[in-house]
Amino acid sequence: ATKVVVCSPGLGDDIQAIKAGILEIADVLVVNKCDLPLINHINRQLKSMLALREALPDWTTPVLNTSAIDGIGVPELADAIDEYQQVLAQREGDGQDNGKKRMLRLLANSVADKVKKDLLETTSSEMDAICDAVLKGELMFNEATNRVIDKLLTR
């Protein structure tokens, strides 16, 4: 299946999509209401966010502009969906995984974000001691990382 994510300029959809991690699963990105003034801004934001995610060797996620009222961009959207379906068919023929790797990346990013948030909200003498030991050169950074992970997992 082709996952199409639709955003609208000026409604905060771009930021919400980024926060929700939805860009990570998008196969095609659509900016609807392309006649509104902020279209170039949202296009730049979405394209720059897409550039940060791991590229797929056989597909570049397009950012397409549409207008439901005028029908602008609808043929291009249909073409992009068809093209992606061909990519999926090729992957199946090659025995490649259909989306599981992308979902695993999405889950890994989500876990990393949660762990980071939890860690930054943690206040404990043990965490302070670990940071102090690294700063003093008494503990290697990798060992400190392992200790922090162990601490977070045993909570």
Tens of pLDDT, residues 51-106: 877 777 788 888 899 988 888 899 899 999 999 999 888 877 765 565 677 777 77
Q: 57-81 burial string, b = 16+ CB within 10 Å, else e?
A: eebebbbbbbbeeeeebeeebeebe
pTM score, two decimals? 0.57
Is residue 57 domain-shared with residue 112, that is, in the same domain? Answer: no
- My answer on whether 40 and 18 are in the same domain is yes
Indicate if 17 and 61 belong to the same structural domain: yes
Strand order in the sheet with 28-31: 4-7, 28-31, 63-65
3-class DSSP state of 6:
strand
Q: Report the domain count for the chain.
A: 2
Q: What pLDDT, on a 0 to 100 scale, did the predictor assign at position 43? A: 81
Provide the residue range defining the domain that includes 107.
101-153
Q: Residue 12: what pLDDT?
A: 65
- Tens digits of residue pLDDT in 104-133: 777 887 888 888 888 888 778 888 899 999
88 and 12 assigned to the same domain: yes
Per the CB < 8 A criterion, the answer to whether 26 and 3 are in contact is yes
Residue 55 shares a structural domain with residue 87: yes
| Secondary structure of residue 54 in the 3-state scheme | coil
